[in-house]
Each structure stands twice: as C-alpha cells, then as structure tokens.
Structure 1
Amino acid sequence: MAEYKVEVTTGNLQSAGTSDHIYVTLFGSKGQSDRTELDNYGIDFTAGTTGIYTVKSSLSLGELLLVKVEKDPFFLLPENEWYLSKLVVTTPEGDAILFPCYRWISRGEMVELRGGRAMKVFEEKHPLLIEHREMELALKKSFYHGIELVLKGLLGSAEKWESIEDMKKIFWYKRTTMSDYVAEHWKEDDFYGYQFLNATNPNVIKRCTVLPRNFPVTEEMVKPFLEKGSSLKSEMKKGNIFLCDKKKMDGIPPRTYNGETLHVTGGFCLFYMNPNNKLMPIAIQLHQQPSEENPIFLPSDTETDWLLAKMFFKSADLIDHEAVHHLMNTHFLAEVYILATVRSFPVIHPLYKLLFPHFRYTLHINTTGRTALLGPGGALNISSLGTDGVIELMRRALSELTYSTFCLPENIAARGLESIPNFYYRDDGLKLWNIINSFVKAIVEYYYPSDREVQKDTELQEWISEIFTHGFLGNKASGFPASFRSVKEVVKFITMVIFTMTAQHAAVNNGQFDYSSWVPNGSLLLHKPPPTTKGQSSMKTIMETLPNVGETVTFAAMARTLSEQYSDMVVLGAYPEERFNEPAPKQMIKEFQAELSSLSEAIAKRNSELEIPYTYLDPSQIENSVAT
C-alpha cells in the first residue's frame, strides 16, 4: 500500500472557504488512485488554512502527473465557492510536488492541476499530459474567443466658476501634498517645464537640433529667455533646446458642445534647459501651420495670453496622455498580452507562470473603464475631442507605434534625453528596466538554454504571432517581432511586457490625482476657442475657457479614481501565488525582490532631498499589474 500526503491550502481571501465535500484523484505514469474525499476531524477548508490528508493507492503511481480536484455539494446548503490556492503532494518516495491552482472552484466543478517543473510543449512525453495540454488550450481558446472589449452634489452642475479660488473648494474631500503644490505653482514656467519630464506624460519631448519649417521661431523672439549673450542656434548645438510636437492631433474633428464646435490644438512647444537646470517653455504655436491667426506666443506676452497658450497646449498633451500613453499603450495593449497568454499557453508553461501574476484585475478594470471614460458622461467622452475624436487619435497613434518606443533605453536614446538633468523618470525607469531585464533573462535562460529551444516551442511562436497580429495589426514597419528566433529576442520582449504593465503604467497613472485634479493645470476640456491674436485676453477669458463646475468635478473624480490603489495591492516583484515548483526560479524571484528593495531605498533617500519628490517609479509604489 502506497500513501500520499496531500497538503491543501485554502486562500486567505474573504469567503474563500467551503463546507462542501472535496475529492481528489491522483494520476501517475503507472496508474491512478481511487477518488478520495479529503476529510479530517473537525472543520476543513476554512479561509487561510492548510490541511494535510492521506490518499492511499494499492501500488505506487510512478511519476505523479495530475491531480483532479472535485467539489460536491454539502447537503442542501447554498453554494459557497472555494478558493484553492495550492496542493502539495508528498509521494511515498519523499518527493514534494507543488500543484498551483489560485482560482475559485464552484459546486460540481472539476479541475485538473499540473504539478512539477514548468514544461514547454515539445518537452511533453506522456500521452496523458499531451492530451491534457491540448484540451486545456482548446477550452481556453473557446472561452476567450468572444472577448473583444469594444471601445464604447456639484456633479452635473452647468454653472461657471467665478474665480480660481472658488475651484479649490471642491478639494476638501481629498488632497495630497503634491496636489496642493500644483494648485499653488501651476502658473509658473519652470513647473510647467518640469511636468514634461516628471509628471504623468514623460515620453513626449525630444532634443531639438533643427526647428520644424512650420514652427518659425526666430532668434529675436526667444533671445530674452536664453542665457545672456547666447543664441537659439548655439543652445541647439549645446543640446539645451527641446521640442514637443502634437502633430498627430492636427485635424481631428472635435466634438460639439451646445451646438458649437470645440477646439483641440495640435501645435508645438519649445523648451530651453537653462543654466539653473530648469526646463522652461519659451515659445508656443497652437496649430501646425503658421499664419497671422496662429501667432507664436512667448513668455514676454501678457500674463493671460501666455497662460492661455500654455493651457491649450497642456490640454492637448493631457488628451494625448490619457488616450494614447495611458489607455492605449498600457491598458489596451495589456489586453493583447493577456489574451494571447491565456489562449496560447497552458498553465504549466514557464512563461505562463512568469507572466500571469502581471495580469491581475486588468480585464476587469478595462471593461469598467471603457464605460466610465468613453461612455456617455465619461471624462473622455466630454473632453474637447469626445469619444470619436479620442478613438481617431488612438488609431493614428497605433499606426505610428514602434517597438523601440516601448523599450525604455531605446526610447530615451532616440529622443536624445540621455543627459538632460533632473529627469527622474529616466533615472528610475532605466534602473527598473535593467532589474526586470536581469530577472527575465535568468528565468528565460533557465527554461530555454539555447535558441533552438525557442524556435521549436510552437506555443511560444503562436503567442508572439497573436500579439503581432492583433496588437500591432501585422505592421512590420513597427519593428515588433512576429516570431522569435533567439533567447535574446524573448528576453527583450518579455522585459518590455512586464515593464509596460508595471513600471510604465505606474509612471503614467499614479500621479493623475496629483497633477490633474487641479483642472487649471491641465484640462481635457476647454470651452472658448484658442487665442488668434495677442493682447485680447483677461482672467475673465481664462475662467470662461475652463470647464464648468460639473465638468471640473467629473475630471477631478476621474483623476482620483484612476490614482486609487486597491487595499489588496500586490507590489512589483511580490508573487503571493506560488506557481513555480523548481528551486532555481524561486531563488531568482528572491534576488529580484532584493534588487527592487535596494532601488526603493535609494529612491527614498534621493527624494528626501528634493523639493518635488518623484515617487511614481519607487518599486514599493508600483502595482504588479495594470489594476487601476
């Protein structure tokens, strides 16, 4: 008689336990055990507990392959789903084999769990496991086939704000140190420039060595704002001039409001890194084509003219941030990675085990977010572009996406920002990229010791093919891979996926309340048309241009909701669900966590010395998935 010890861990979630009968059957290379009820003295399977049970077999089952778990009803009690975290089966030979589950099991449901080391498709030898793998993928592909998530008090008040001070009254319910700072400093040029490096949209400026022909800034215009005795030409040579160009927004029809067409400006902003290492805006042209009705605004213009120009450019940048850099580049592309993973990899695949923790809550937040942001009354629906315009902006941006854009070291180099000072997003981001890359390299090389292993993994090839086809529309010019030929290619791509779904999302998401809840600092909606001549504006113009009371509350509420963290947040590098059985990847995870902890300490030390701390890429503040 052979005895197997089955250690069963119920999740520590609310209502995770069950009073139903639980049965297991062990399958091995030499046979299977009887269907055995797991029943000890007292109450079994309460939340957060681990129970040890004995399963007997007349003979040794050989190599243990599968565990079948069944949940039967307990008399006539109401259904209570069970959250099974994992099973660990100790064989008569003394081998302890992990069978991860980490899912809810319903009454009458049967699940089959794979255990042992992660397996690639071509490594499967036993007919039972080959059949199980094929059936799992067939079921998952069928299930996920139709998931095409289609883009579809003061609240509601149409009153206009009387003054800037009145706007501060809505923030009694939640404030942060940073949101207070923004409300006090939003008009200042150096803070305006700082935000293009370290606020929520740090991927839009680039070093400028030649001005675009349709942005005719002259030496005379900007000379007063440069170092004494210097010139625009010489500052370009020194690498101190930077440009933000919103040409992809040019010509997109905005929505109508009360019968009138709103306005979105797809123009230019020129920046200068001054001798005090502050990035200063020095010229703004609100539309692409220069004309008498499209003047170049300067810091020497009247206070309200310059402020209006900055507001219109910042409004375009905020729409670009929310639609493209936040929603499309992190949330929506994350769906592609998730669906490709669950459709192409069985749960035993090593890359499924590696990637799955980074998918937590993403499909849920995207499903609800589409309605909340793009549906009737949603923040992007009532933006100056409206839902149709936002979708067109995303369409244009998707056609221009490149692989290097998503790979931070290449992104920074392509924009010429390797040495620009006080660029904390770059500093922290590159360190995070390297830490994630080292971890991914260790895991991937452990399971793929040669390029040949990559090439013959049909599930891996199907995974990247689905991503290339459905995520990037088969656009070869984008540089995204359609297949993998080497271990190096796999490491780079998975580094990009994990970085995007953790660090990059944190960078563009977590500061939204800090920077966008104070709507004058950046609004998705501006009512009046942009200025076409100088000297005609006043603070009355500013107030008439800003959203009304109800719209302001909607935008502030959106910023708050998107910046909230779950009470059960899982931080980058934490893997509460034990999916790997082998000692090597477990050790790699520990080393990964140690590197992240060390970086977190270094960032905290640096931030303690800064007037404006940059916290969004502190690993202790980064969620392990696109969850908000």
Structure 2
Amino acid sequence: MMTSCQEFEVTVHTSPGPTCGTFNHLWLRLIGSQSETPPICVTQGSHLLSGSTCLVSIRSNDPLGQLVLVQLRLEAHTGFPNLDWHCSRVEVRHVVDGTDDSQTQMFLCDRWLKTADGDIELRSGKLCLLAEETEDKLKQHRLKQLQHQQQLIRWRSFVDGAPQCADFSSMSELGPNLSYTHKSPPIDVHYLKGFAGRTQAWTSFSELETVFAHSGNQNNIARFVKANWKEDWYFGYQCLNGCNPLLIHQISLIPSNLAVTSDMLRPFLPGGSSLKQELQKGTIYLLDYEILDGIPANLVNGNQTYLSAPLCLLHLNQQGEMVPIAIQLLQNPGPHNPVFLPSDSSCDWLLAKIWVHNADFQCHQLISHYMKTHMIAELCCVATLRQLPDQHPLHQLLMPHVKTSLQINLQARASLLAAKGVFDQAVSSGLKTIPVLLSRAAARTRYRSLCVPDDVADRGVDKLPHSYYAQDALRVWDTLYRFVCSWVELYYRTDKHVQNDCELQNWICDINTHGFSGDSGFPSSFHTKAEVSKFVTMLIYSCSALHAAVNFSQLDFALWMPNCPGTMMQPPPQVKGQITEDDIVSFLPDANAACRVVMTLTMLSQPGLDFIPLCDYREAIFRTEDHHELVQKVRAELKAISDDITERNSQLPLPYPYLCPSGIDNSVAI
C-alpha cells in the first residue's frame, strides 16, 4: 500500500542589511519527529540577495510527524567569494491538495551563517525550559548546541583570582555573530596629541590652563569642575556624583589606623557637637583606599611614580554638603604620615585632596569600571553561551546586554591593558600593578555591592539629597527589576520550576566557578523566582546603567587634569607646611602622560553613533506578543525617568546626566 507524500512550501528570508546576501549555495532539510527529508538546494535558479526571499517546495515520501527542525548548510560557490550570509528566518507551510493544512511555522535564525559552520539547525516555537520540551529531538538539539558551544568557547584566566574571560586571542576567532562594528563620532584631540614628545613636567598651573582653554573649555561640566575643584563642597560632590560614586560610605566607628581625635576635628563640626555625636547621627563618611596599600607603582617616562592608600574622612554638614575634614595619605599612622586638615595651609590641603583623586583614579579605572562592568559582562556572556541554549528564555534576555563584551574586552586586553598601552606608559597602575589590584578587588567584592538597593543603603547614600547617582540608580534598577520579574514570570510558574531547571543551575555554577571568591555572597544556586530576578537585574544593570555612570562621565571630570591625575611624580609629603603652588605642579603627571590619558578618555567617553539605548531591543524574539508588551512597558517607564532627569538637571548648576536612560547604552560596547 502506497503512502501519500507530504508537501511543504518553504520560504527562506535573507536579512535586509546591505551585506547580508551571499554568492554561496544553500542546502535545506526538514527534520520531523519521525523522519527527515533529503537535503535540497534552495539556490537552484535563485540567489540569496539582501532582503530577498527564496521559495522552494519540498516533498517527503515518508511521514515526518511533527516538524521540529530546519537544517541549513552553506556551500561555497566555486569561482565566487565565500561570503557569510545573514538569515532572518525560514517559514514552512504544510500543503494538502493545494491548500494550507496548518499555520505557517516560523523558524527564527537572525544570525550570520558561514560555510565552515556545517549543518545549522533552527527550531520553531516559543522559548521554553528544558523540562517543557516534549520532543526527544528537541532535547537532543539543546544538548548538542551546548556541547558545541563549550568546545568553541572556553574559559581563560586574564588575572589569577579575578573573574575569567573567553579564551580568544584574535578578533577573527569571535566570528560574525559575536563581533560588532562601533561607529564612533569624530573626536577632537588636535591640541593634545602634539604633547606626545614632551616627557617633562608642567611648569605651572598657567600651562595647564592654556591647554584646557584649547581642549576642554567647550565642555560645560569640565568648566564647572575647573572653576570649583579646590572647594571642599565640590570634592564631596564628586565623591557622590563623579565618575566613581561607588566608594564613599557611612561609618559609625573611626578606623583604628586613622590618627584623628575628637579635639582635632571639633573645629570642622557643628558648634556644640562632637565627633562621637556626629558618628551617632550618621553624618560621618569615609573613603578608604586600603586596597592600594603596598602595591608597586609604575615607571613613566623612565621615572618612578607613586601610589598612596589614603583614608579620607568626610562630614555631611548642616547645609547638606559632603565635605572632607581629614585626610591621611598612608594606611599606617606615624610621625611621617600626618593627618591633613582643612585648617592647614591651602597648598597642603589641596595636595592632600589631589592624592585622594589619584588613588580614586586607579580604583575607578580598574575596579569600578573594568572589573564591575567589563569583566562581569564577559563572565556572564561566556557562561550564558556555554550553559543556556538559544531557546532558554534567559539566554535571549541577556545576550543583547552582554554579547559586545567579548570584542571590547579582547581589544582592551590587547591595547589599553597591554605593553605600550596607556596603563603601561601613562598611569601609576602599570602592568605589574594591574593583576595585584584586580585580584585584591575580586577577593573583596560582595554580591550586595553589585545590587543597587543593597549597595546604596549599606553605604548610607540612598537618602542624601544631593546623591544624584544613588537617586537615579535606584529608579533605573527598580524599573529593570520589574521588567525582569515579568519576564521570569512568563517561564517559571513556581519556585519549583526554578529549582528544577538544570540549565539555569549549571549557569550560575559556571559563573561562580569562574567568577568571584566563594565567600562573595553570590548565590551558589537558585531557589526562587525572586533570586533569579535579582541576579539577572544585577547583570543587566552592571552592563548598561553602571557602565554608563562610570564610563561616559570620565572625560568631564578629567579634562581639568589636576582634578583626576593618573600618576603622581613625587612621594606623599611626610611633613606639613613646606608645599607651595609650584611644588604641587611637580607632583602632577608629565605633560605627555597627562595628555595621553585625556586622549584615551576622550575616545572612551563618546557613545557610538549607532548605540542602542537601554532596553531598545532589536532582536526578533522581542517582537513576539508576550515579549513585545513587556518591552513596551519598560521603555515607557524608562522614558518617564529620562523626562524627570532632564527636568531636574535643567534646574541644577551642575547636571547629573549619566543615568538618563535615553543615553544609557544597552551593553558594554566601548
């Protein structure tokens, strides 16, 4: 008895980009739960042109059962360039007696395919957890994809003790799906690059003012910084709202190694109050750069540079200003490590604050910026590619936020952080310093410090009237958290579904194994939907909003070079009363080093012309009905935050624009 054949109408869609087409041949096979069709050449008589569709009819003499996969394979066209092809999707209709038997099945691709890929299998249907797969072939497909990814993408240690990175050594290894193009706006370093050959120190503040007049005077925030950088209220403002707002924290006890007394500080506290009373009221804050203690400093232009590990005590005064009241430049108290006070000579006090800025520069660049955004993004990206298959809902949610980290970090390790890079040649944290500092920082990192509500509450900055970073960060975090919770609710009906998701548990295990230390407080496994939502929110925030706050603010605060020195060329002073203004200049970076740092920050602080705003997802999966509704809602909430921040900033003498969602990049792309 003969079995009637099945007929399918297949439409292959090439993405519309100008380079998405290819000369290559395409072979296609339908895979069902019971059998599969022989491969057929789709390009017989047609071409894979950008934005085009190719229609082909396929007949199967054996029942396929449930159609579960479409297999694609590119084959080089002899005599023609072997170009990659960007496939949008494949649509399949089952035709019976010339009519539709069912709805069109859509098999999303939305990626580049290469001849070297061999057979690529696409699946249809909604995102789902492994436990919800009903077809054995789809379960096998998930497993096979992860096995392939784990062979392709391996872990490597960049710095012992710090979060690991992807084991790629060249851009070509990333392939087209993990690389991207960054269209940078033109940058103006015309007046800075000519200092490359000047290895000597600046001779006066007048020289620095001349350079600023040409290179920084067009920047409104930088002009404000230059006009106010010596003021104590501005110093405190920068601790709260500068490019490194993550260190200042409230204290209830004075550190035992900070040699201050109540009598010493009484002149800088409200009349009738004492240090003990102010500590009890919660108005005393601390910057502690202990992490820099004993770290070797770099040679720049063949000259020794210097690092200090200051402790800086601050007071929230009755005017609501955060002002410094004591600075000790080294961790161990002693006769050659004086405590500098606001009542000291103006030059002594200013130099002490500059030393704090220099210490902050090192911690900002390598910890708050590189480790807490770039390294975390790559850690998450590698674990996601290795442990969560494409069909997993968290894979699709996270990849738009983390994918770019592989390329930008590979480039950073090969340039900025490498021999002859800016750290090697212009910063006190040189090549010997970087691994020590990153390893120490990773060992001290706690999960709570990466979660905004916990972090700002623990540091006592959540309710300060002028802590704009904390205010804006809380609003952005809360909006992202609600969005992530809604996404998680779509796929995890109960906490039991979280506990039973072995792919999810393998993912967090991979992150812990290759991430921070065991006592970091990172969840070792997930037990509830709330735990998953908080962790995913932390990742998205770190890769987008936090990166915006610590990266795109850099240039504004560094254009006036004494405010953000990358090196100090003299050791910390051991006595008071011997420093003049000319002496201060001799501590500052040499001319070529200072200008190289500013040129680097100019490049890093420019959002790409093609940057993607936070939650402005371009991937097709976010246009499906359930996802589209969630995305529209979070975009509307972020738009409201942008409007509020814009209105607030219009009333401020110094605006805080860095967490305005309309300017937050969706990922770490620069």
Find the aligned partners of 1:148 and 1:115 in 2 and give their Cα distance.
37
* One-letter amino acid matched to 1:445: E
* One-letter amino acid matched to 2:435: I
Higher mean Cα deviation, 164-173 or 407-416? 164-173
SS in 2 for 1:242: strand
Find the aligned partners of 2:659 and 2:303 in 1 and give their Cα distance.
42
Q: What is the TM-score with the length of structure 2 in the denominator? A: 0.87
C-alpha displacement of 1:532: 1.2
**Corresponding residue for 2:122?**
113
Equivalent runs, 1:293-442 vs 2, <5 Å:
293-382=336-425, 383-442=427-486
C-alpha displacement of 1:179: 2.3
* 1:85 matches 2:129: no
Residues 561-614 of structure 1: CA distance to partner in whole angstroms, max 9, x if unpaired?
221222221111011011357522232122122211121111111111111111
* One-letter amino acid matched to 2:509: S
**Corresponding residue for 1:204?**
247
**Corresponding residue for 1:562?**
604
**Corresponding residue for 1:56?**
58
SS in 2 for 1:569: coil
Contact 2:14/2:48 (<8 A) preserved = no
C-alpha displacement of 1:16: 2.5
Equivalent runs, 1:136-215 vs 2, <5 Å:
136-145=145-154, 147-149=156-158, 153-170=194-211, 172=214, 175-215=218-258
Higher mean Cα deviation, 218-227 or 594-603? 218-227
Kindly report the root-mean-square deviation, in angstroms, between the aligned alpha carbons of the 2 structures: 2.5
Contact 2:195/2:591 (<8 A) preserved = yes
* One-letter amino acid matched to 2:560: W
C-alpha displacement of 1:173: 5.5
From the superposition, tell whether residues 113 and 610 of structure 1 become closer, same or farther in structure 2 (CA, over 3 Å).
same
Find the aligned partners of 2:579 and 2:492 in 1 and give their Cα distance.
64
**Corresponding residue for 2:189?**
none
Residues 173-214 of structure 1: CA distance to partner in whole angstroms, max 9, x if unpaired?
675322232233222221111111111111111112221122
* 1:551 matches 2:556: no
* 1:103 matches 2:111: yes
Is there any run of 5+ residues in structure 1 with no aligned partner, and where?
none
Find the aligned partners of 1:433 and 1:337 in 2 and give their Cα distance.
18
Contact 1:36/1:55 (<8 A) preserved = no
Contact 2:486/2:630 (<8 A) preserved = yes
Find the aligned partners of 2:130 and 2:46 in 1 and give their Cα distance.
42
Residues 343-399 of structure 1: CA distance to partner in whole angstroms, max 9, x if unpaired?
111111111111111123211111111232222232323422322223212211211
Percent of pairs with identical residues = 36
SS in 1 for 2:107: strand
Higher mean Cα deviation, 52-61 or 317-326? 52-61
Q: What is the TM-score with the length of structure 1 in the denominator? A: 0.93
Contact 1:116/1:582 (<8 A) preserved = no
**Corresponding residue for 1:573?**
615
* One-letter amino acid matched to 1:614: Y
**Corresponding residue for 1:10?**
15
Higher mean Cα deviation, 231-240 or 281-290? 231-240
* One-letter amino acid matched to 1:449: R
Find the aligned partners of 1:499 and 1:560 in 2 and give their Cα distance.
24
Count, aligned residues: 623
C-alpha displacement of 1:149: 4.8
**Corresponding residue for 2:259?**
216
Residues 412-434 of structure 1: CA distance to partner in whole angstroms, max 9, x if unpaired?
12112232221111111111111
Equivalent runs, 1:59-74 vs 2, <5 Å:
61-74=64-77
Contact 1:118/1:580 (<8 A) preserved = no
Find the aligned partners of 1:608 and 1:93 in 2 and give their Cα distance.
60
Find the aligned partners of 1:201 and 1:255 in 2 and give their Cα distance.
22
C-alpha displacement of 1:266: 0.9
Equivalent runs, 1:113-132 vs 2, <5 Å:
113-132=122-141
From the superposition, tell whether residues 93 and 607 of structure 1 become closer, same or farther in structure 2 (CA, over 3 Å).
farther
* 1:613 matches 2:655: yes
**Corresponding residue for 2:184?**
none
* 1:264 matches 2:272: no
**Corresponding residue for 2:558?**
516
**Corresponding residue for 1:288?**
331
* One-letter amino acid matched to 1:288: Q
Contact 1:39/1:53 (<8 A) preserved = no
SS in 1 for 2:140: helix
Find the aligned partners of 2:594 and 2:302 in 1 and give their Cα distance.
21
* 1:588 matches 2:588: no
**Corresponding residue for 1:250?**
293
* 1:25 matches 2:46: no
Find the aligned partners of 1:64 and 1:503 in 2 and give their Cα distance.
42
From the superposition, tell whether residues 573 and 77 of structure 1 become closer, same or farther in structure 2 (CA, over 3 Å).
same
Find the aligned partners of 1:597 and 1:90 in 2 and give their Cα distance.
40
From the superposition, tell whether residues 90 and 549 of structure 1 become closer, same or farther in structure 2 (CA, over 3 Å).
farther
Higher mean Cα deviation, 568-577 or 58-67? 58-67
Find the aligned partners of 1:458 and 1:450 in 2 and give their Cα distance.
15
Higher mean Cα deviation, 181-190 or 17-26? 17-26
Out of 536, 554, 574, the residue aligned to residue 578 of structure 2 is: 536
From the superposition, tell whether residues 607 and 5 of structure 1 become closer, same or farther in structure 2 (CA, over 3 Å).
farther
Contact 2:545/2:659 (<8 A) preserved = yes
SS in 1 for 2:617: coil
Find the aligned partners of 1:615 and 1:126 in 2 and give their Cα distance.
50
Out of 498, 516, 519, the residue aligned to residue 454 of structure 1 is: 498
* One-letter amino acid matched to 2:516: F
SS in 2 for 1:271: strand
C-alpha displacement of 1:96: 4.2
Find the aligned partners of 2:14 and 2:228 in 1 and give their Cα distance.
53
Find the aligned partners of 2:210 and 2:69 in 1 and give their Cα distance.
61
Find the aligned partners of 1:447 and 1:549 in 2 and give their Cα distance.
57
SS in 2 for 1:55: strand
Find the aligned partners of 2:365 and 2:503 in 1 and give their Cα distance.
34
Is there any run of 5+ residues in structure 2 with no aligned partner, and where?
1-5, 95-99, 161-168, 170-193
Find the aligned partners of 2:91 and 2:629 in 1 and give their Cα distance.
19
SS in 2 for 1:523: coil
From the superposition, tell whether residues 258 and 609 of structure 1 become closer, same or farther in structure 2 (CA, over 3 Å).
closer
From the superposition, tell whether residues 170 and 55 of structure 1 become closer, same or farther in structure 2 (CA, over 3 Å).
farther
